A and B are shown apart, each in its own frame.
Chain A
Amino acid sequence: MNVHVTQPETQGSAAPAVDYDEKIVKQFFTATVVWALVGMLAGVWVALQLAWWPANLDNPYTTFGRLRPLHTNAVIFAFAGNTVFLGIYHSMQRLLKTRMFSDALSQFHFWGWQLIIVAAALTLPFGHTQSKEYAELIWPIDIAIAVVWVVFAINFFGTIAIRKVKHLYVAIWFYMSFVLTVAVLHIVNNLSLPVSFTKSYPIYSGMTDALVQWWYGHNAVAFFLTTPFLGLMYYYLPKAANRPVFSYRLSIIHFWSLVFLYIWAGPHHLLYSALPDWAQTVGAAFSIMLIAPSWGGMLNGLLTLRGAWDRVRTDPVLKFFVVAVSFYGMATFEGPMMSIRPVNGLAHFTNWVVGHVHSGALGWNGFMGFGILYFLAPRIFGRIAKPSWVETHFWLGTIGIVLYIVSMWSAGLTEGLMWRAVGEDGLLQYPNFVSIVDRLNLFYWIRFLGGAMYLVGAVMMAWNLWLTARGGGSPDAELPVAAPAK
Chain B
Amino acid sequence: MSKNTDEVLGHADESDGIEEYDNPLPDWWIGLFFLTIIWGVWHIADWHFITPTSNEAHYEAEMAAAAEQWPDLGKKAERDDSPETLALGKELYTANCVACHMADLSGGIGPNLKDSEWIHGGDYESVVNTLTNGVAAKGMPAWGPVLGPKKVAALASYVLSENTGEAPAAPAEEPAAAPEGGAEGTPTDVEAGPADGKAIFEKNCVACHKADLSGLVGPNLKDDEWIHGGSLEEIVATITNGVPEKGMISWKTQLSDEEIAAVAKYVFEYED
The reply to whether chain A is a binding partner of chain B is yes
A interface residues, Cβ below 8 angstroms from B: 1-3, 5, 7-9, 11-12, 91, 94-95, 97, 165-167, 169-170, 235, 238-239, 244-251, 253, 257, 272, 277-278, 280-282, 284-286, 288-293, 295-296, 299, 303, 336, 425-428, 431, 481, 483-484, 486
Which residues of chain B have C-beta atoms less than 8 A from A484's C-beta?
8, 12, 17-19
Among B25, B37, B40, max chain A CB count under 10 A is at B40
Which residues of chain A have C-beta atoms less than 8 A from B43's C-beta?
281, 284-285, 288
B249 adjacent to chain A (CB < 8 Å): no
The residue that B16 contacts in the complex, of A91, A251, A272, with Cβ under 8 A, is A91
Residue pair A3, B40 in contact (C-beta under 8 Å)? no
Which residues of chain A have C-beta atoms less than 8 A from B148's C-beta?
425-427
Q: Nearest Cβ in chain A — how far from B42, in angstroms?
A: 9
Q: Nearest Cβ in chain B — how far from A357, in angstroms?
A: 22
Which residues of chain A have C-beta atoms less than 8 A from B55's C-beta?
272, 277, 280
Residue pair A11, B21 in contact (C-beta under 8 Å)? no
A250 and B48 in contact, given A286-B40, A289-B36, A484-B17 (Cβ under 8 angstroms) = no
A426 and B22 in contact, given A9-B13, A272-B55 (Cβ under 8 angstroms) = no
Q: Nearest Cβ in chain A — how far from B181, in angstroms?
A: 15
Given A245-B20, A291-B36; 12 other pairs, CB 8 A cutoff: A8-B13, A238-B19, A239-B17, A244-B18, A248-B20, A251-B20, A253-B25, A278-B44, A286-B40, A299-B26, A425-B70, A484-B8
| Chain B positions 35 through 49: 1 when the CB is less than 8 Å from some CB of chain A, otherwise 0 | 011011101100110
| Chain B positions 42 through 64: 1 when the CB is less than 8 Å from some CB of chain A, otherwise 0 | 01100110000011000000000
Residue pair A247, B12 in contact (C-beta under 8 Å)? no
Residue pair B40, A289 in contact (C-beta under 8 Å)? yes
Closest to A167 in B: B14
A295 and B20 in contact, given A286-B40, A425-B148 (Cβ under 8 angstroms) = no
B192 adjacent to chain A (CB < 8 Å): no
Which residues of chain A have C-beta atoms less than 8 A from B146's C-beta?
427-428, 431
B73 adjacent to chain A (CB < 8 Å): yes
Q: How far is the CA of A9 from the CA of B14 in the complex (A)?
A: 9
Which residues of chain A have C-beta atoms less than 8 A from B15's C-beta?
95, 165, 167, 169
The residue that A426 contacts in the complex, of B23, B39, B70, with Cβ under 8 A, is B70
Residue pair B21, A245 in contact (C-beta under 8 Å)? yes
28 A-B residue contacts at CB 8 Å?
A2-B9, A5-B13, A9-B13, A91-B16, A95-B16, A97-B16, A165-B13, A167-B15, A169-B15, A239-B18, A244-B6, A244-B20, A246-B21, A246-B23, A248-B9, A250-B23, A277-B47, A280-B55, A281-B44, A285-B41, A289-B33, A291-B32, A292-B29, A292-B33, A292-B36, A428-B145, A484-B18, A486-B19
Q: How far is the CA of A289 from the CA of B23 in the complex (A)?
A: 23
Which residues of chain A have C-beta atoms less than 8 A from B73's C-beta?
426-427
B24 adjacent to chain A (CB < 8 Å): yes
Closest to A291 in B: B36
Q: How far is the CA of A3 from the CA of B23 in the complex (A)?
A: 17
A288 and B17 in contact, given A3-B11, A249-B22 (Cβ under 8 angstroms) = no
Q: How far is the CA of A299 from the CA of B33 in the complex (A)?
A: 13
Q: How far is the CA of A218 from the CA of B162 in the complex (A)?
A: 57
Closest to B18 in A: A238
The residue that A281 contacts in the complex, of B10, B12, B33, B48, with Cβ under 8 A, is B48
Residue pair A486, B8 in contact (C-beta under 8 Å)? yes
Which residues of chain B have C-beta atoms less than 8 A from A303's C-beta?
23
Q: Nearest Cβ in chain A — how far from B165, in angstroms?
A: 32
Residue pair A169, B14 in contact (C-beta under 8 Å)? yes
Q: How far is the CA of A3 from the CA of B8 in the complex (A)?
A: 12
The residue that B17 contacts in the complex, of A11, A296, A427, with Cβ under 8 A, is A11
Q: Nearest Cβ in chain B — how far from A22, in angstroms?
A: 15
The residue that A166 contacts in the complex, of B6, B14, B70, B147, with Cβ under 8 A, is B14
Which 3 residue pairs of A and B lie closest in terms of their CB atoms, listed nearest first? Answer: A426-B70, A292-B33, A244-B19
Q: How far is the CA of A170 from the CA of B11 in the complex (A)?
A: 12
Q: How far is the CA of A194 from the CA of B136 in the complex (A)?
A: 34
Residue pair A3, B14 in contact (C-beta under 8 Å)? yes
Closest to B22 in A: A248
Q: How far is the CA of A246 from the CA of B48 in the complex (A)?
A: 41
Which residues of chain B have C-beta atoms less than 8 A from A299's C-beta?
26, 29
Q: How far is the CA of A5 from the CA of B39 in the complex (A)?
A: 43
